[in-house]
Amino acid sequence: MSIAVYPGSFDPITLGHLNVIRRAAAVFDELLVCVMVNSSKDPLFSHEERVELIKRTIARFPNVGVESSGELLVEYMKTRGAKVIIKGLRAVSDFDREFQIALVNRKLDQGIETLFMPSSEKYTYLSSTVVKEMARYGADLETFVPKEIINDVLKRIETVRRR
């Protein structure tokens, strides 16, 4: 059974993330979406909230699960029996950073491979940061995030704005 892990902060999950999930789920027997800690980011949603938002958007994919982890990715993968990391790439700048991380992960565990999936053209501009910025300005989020979570993003942005 082939198991892959799609790690990220997913704050919030975007249609670009969902596109990668759909495509990776078609290749692997099981895909685990793993909400990871990114110490350089100030998240809008908690780990638990992000897991819940993702669960609602992936319900249509029977071979996709979602979890969160605060441990090193290769350690998480060992506990799940996964051998492949899925990374979506939007631009060359993504590749530079992700390639370095892939080499580190392989150094930590030579049995781990990283599969880079180029973004679909219509999502190359899209990031969670863009989603949060558009939400702050009241833009229509329909072309940015899955419909199941649009209201959650708008409510959270409004809550943050009131602080």
- Clarify whether 17 is annotated catalytic: yes
**69, 119, 128, 156: which one is catalytic?**
128
CA distance linking residue 163 with residue 158, whole number of Å: 9
- Clarify whether 41 is annotated catalytic: yes
Counts of helices then strands in the chain (DSSP H, E): 6, 5
**2, 41, 97, 122: which one is catalytic?**
41
- Clarify whether 122 is annotated catalytic: no
Q: Helix crossing, 47-58 with 15-25: angle to 10°?
A: 60
Spatial neighbors of 127 by CB under 8 A, at least 6 apart, are 14, 16, 90
CA distance linking residue 159 with residue 163, whole number of Å: 7
**22, 56, 83, 90: which one is catalytic?**
90
- Clarify whether 163 is annotated catalytic: no
Could you list the active site residues?
17, 41, 90, 128
